Amino acid sequence: MALITLQNVSKIYPPFFKALININLQIYKGDFIILTGPTGAGKTTLLKLIYKEEKPTSGELFYQNIPYSKLKPKELSFLRQNLGIIFQDYKLFPELTVYENIKISLILSKKFFKDAKLLIYEYLERFNISQKAQKKVKELSGGEQQKVGIIRAIIRDPEILIADEPTGNLDPVSINEILSILKDFNKEGKTIILATHDPIILNQNLGKIVKLNKGELVEDV
């Protein structure tokens, strides 16, 4: 049984911009999906449908055979608690500190325990921003914010990791750090959906490449 299924999914942004056209896709547990395609192809839109920031105009998505449209608010929040999402636009709380942003993610996924503080600092250290832990997010640079967004998603050890251009603003060292984390994740049997057009990542043969172009699925290698 597929973990996530997209069935004849189309997304039209009002008034009539076709962002996704008739997408069929099945994502299984343990998959490493690499979503690629030129700018404006609809990668982010597809991910938004998966974590239900947007609703499809037609077609249906399923989480383990449960249609998204039938998910009750409580079930939906439970589904999201098991997701780790790295947003293309970071989506951090600008008025809260780096530490607080990460802590909220842990609390919401019910993984905040006694030693969580140590864990948070471990990750900050790993991405070389531990000295910014008590700074407000709005005072960080773009790359630093991206790192916080990454840590916030992976620290909750999610069943499914959704990463939208996680390397866009990062230096090569950090990119390698992320890639090694993603590989480890996948080895543990976790599902990863990664949207990128970074050739460094595409050349590494990490998983199944799904290519979008102008809202259509072109290749499903």
Partner 1 sequence: MFRYLSKIELKQSIFYYLFLFLFFFFWNFFSLFIFFFYLNIQNILQSYEDKVPINMLIFYENNPLNILNLSSEIDKNIYVKKVIIISPEELLEKSKNDLPPEILKIFSKDEIKSQFPYILKIYPTSIKDYPALRDQLNLLTKANPNIEILEPGFFKLIYFAYFFKLGFLILAITWFLFYLIFLYFLNTLINSYLKNQTQIFLLLGGTLKKFKFLRFLFVGLILITAFVYSALVYFYISDSISSIIPLFKPYPNFSKINHLLYFGTYIFLTVFFFPWLTIIMSYRKHEI
Ligand X SMILES: Nc1ncnc2c1ncn2[C@@H]1O[C@H](COP(=O)(O)OP(=O)(O)OP(=O)(O)O)[C@@H](O)[C@H]1O
Which of 13, 67, 70, 95 touches partner 1 by CB under 8 A?
95
Tokens 């039938």 label which residue?
70
- Note whether 109 binds partner 1 by CB under 8 A: yes
Identify which of residues 136 and 197 has a Cβ nearer to partner 1 in the complex.
Answer: 136
Taking the C-alpha atoms of residue 172 and residue 164, their distance in angstroms, rounded to an integer, is 17
Identify which of residues 23 and 120 has a Cβ nearer to ligand X in the complex.
Answer: 23
Which of 5, 44, 105, 196 touches Mg ion by CB under 5 A?
44
Write out the two tokens for 77. 């929040």
The footprint of partner 1 on residues 63-92 (CB under 8 A) is 73-74, 77-83, 85, 87, 91-92
DSSP calls for the chain: --SEEEEEEEEEETTTEEEEEEEEEEE-TT-EEEEE-STTSSHHHHHHHHTTSS--SEEEEEETTEEGGG--HHHHHHHHHTEEEE-TT----TTSBHHHHHHHHHHHTT---TTHHHHHHHHHHHTT-GGGTTSBGGGS-HHHHHHHHHHHHHTT--SEEEEESTTTT--HHHHHHHHHHHHHHHHTT-EEEEE---HHHHTT--SEEEEEETTEEEEE-
- Note whether 146 binds Mg ion by CB under 5 A: no
The footprint of ligand X on residues 75-104 (CB under 6 A) is 88
Which of 40, 67, 94, 142 touches ligand X by CB under 6 A?
40
CB atoms within 10 A of CB 117: 14
Ranked by CB distance to Mg ion, the top (closest) residue is 44
Q: How far is the CB of 142 from partner 1 (least distance, A)?
A: 17
The footprint of Mg ion on residues 74-103 (CB under 5 A) is 88
Q: How far is the CB of 19 from ligand X (least distance, A)?
A: 4
- Note whether 17 binds ligand X by CB under 6 A: yes
Dmax (CA) for the chain in angstroms is: 50
Q: How far is the CB of 45 from ligand X (least distance, A)?
A: 3
Contact call for residues 41 and 5 (beta carbons, < 8 A):
no
Identify which of residues 81 and 169 has a Cβ nearer to partner 1 in the complex.
Answer: 81
Residues that bind ligand X (CB under 6 A): 13, 17, 19, 37, 39-45, 88
Residues that bind partner 1 (CB under 8 A): 51-53, 73-74, 77-83, 85, 87, 91-93, 95-96, 100, 103-105, 107-109, 152
Residues that bind Mg ion (CB under 5 A): 43-44, 88
